Amino acid sequence: MTRPFQTIVQRIVLLMCIILLTACGEEKQAAAPQAPPQGSASEKIEGTIVAVGDSLTAGYGLSEEQAYPALLENRLRQNGYPFNVVNAGISGETSSEARSRIEWIMSLNPDIVILGTGANDGLRGIDPALTRENIDAIVTYLNSQGVVVVLAGMKMVKNMGREFTESFEGLYPAIAADKNAVLIPFLLKGVAAEPSLNQPDGIHPTAEGYEKVTDVVYPYVVEAIERFRGKAG
């Protein structure tokens, strides 16, 4: 290839790259306003629900659309409850870590918080007294901010020992009763220990499992919405 011809080819390639980059930029600028809104133009959003928790909330191994917060939002809107549901789950999080980010949670302006933390505490053998202290502090803080709390109860594997298991499982109803939170007795009711509804690790729900979790959570969230409406009214 002669040098003049090589120079012409290089210029053509460079020009094509500029055209392609310009087109991509224009496409991104045009696409940005088309991002789906959090509710249709005719639908007035009544409030915000923030789901706080660990991998069971985040939807470990699945897309966010398959986890229960997204499914719950769809269910609520289908039934005339125009609420946004924000997935604020972090895989691996303990109750201490949830407590440390509670002010960040408030920056999301929640009207209702579904609090599902503590499972990782139990699996790590953390003293249930510390878990209770953390969850109690979170609920107390949310109450002080006027947020309606839905506390998701958890159960623990039996090999942790009877005393540990009973102390762990009992902390949720105790806190809910003391702090007037809406209690979900067991977040994974009908899903835990069901192989067909869990991923191969036996801990995290499948997409079908999260449909069941949504069934469990839904009526308690509706109860929380009625409390919220009562306060707002």
Q: Give the CATH number of the domain where residue 118 resides.
A: 3.40.50.1110
Mean pLDDT of 99-113: 97
* 184 has a pLDDT exceeding 50: yes
Q: How many CB atoms lie within 10 A of CB 83?
A: 22
Q: Quick check: is 204 in a domain? A: yes
Can you give the pLDDT at residue 42? 54
Q: What's the domain range around 129?
A: 47-232
* 230 has a pLDDT exceeding 70: yes
Q: Quick check: is 22 in a domain? A: no
Q: Quick check: is 19 in a domain? A: no
Mean pLDDT of 169-173: 98
Q: Quick check: is 9 in a domain? A: no
Per-residue model confidence as pLDDT tens digits over 153-164: 999 988 889 999
Mean pLDDT of 62-88: 98
Q: Quick check: is 183 in a domain? A: yes
* 126 has a pLDDT exceeding 60: yes
Catalytic residue among 40, 54, 55, 91: 55
Does residue 121 carry a catalytic annotation?
no
What separation, in Å, do the N-terminal and C-terminal C-alpha atoms of the chain show?
A: 81
Give backbone dihedrals phi and psi of 166, rounded to 5 degrees, phi first. -65, -40
Structural contact between residues 135 and 169, judged by C-beta atoms closer than 8 angstroms: no
Does residue 127 carry a catalytic annotation?
no
Does residue 215 carry a catalytic annotation?
no
Per-residue model confidence as pLDDT tens digits over 76-105: 999 999 999 999 999 999 999 999 999 999
Q: Which of 218, 224, 129 is nearest to 174 (CA)?
A: 129
Question: Can you read off the two tokens belonging to residue 112?
Answer: 């209702």
Per-residue model confidence as pLDDT tens digits over 200-222: 999 999 999 999 999 999 999 99
Catalytic residue among 95, 111, 167, 204: 204
d(C-alpha 54, C-alpha 65), whole Å: 16
The residue that leads in pLDDT, 2 or 212, is: 212
Q: Which pLDDT band, with edges at 50, 70 and 90, does 37 fall under?
A: very low
Q: Quick check: is 73 in a domain? A: yes
For the chain, how many structural domains are there in total?
1
Note the pTM of the prediction, 2 decimals. 0.82
Q: Quick check: is 41 in a domain? A: no
Can you give the pLDDT at residue 232? 76
Catalytic residue among 42, 63, 107, 201: 201
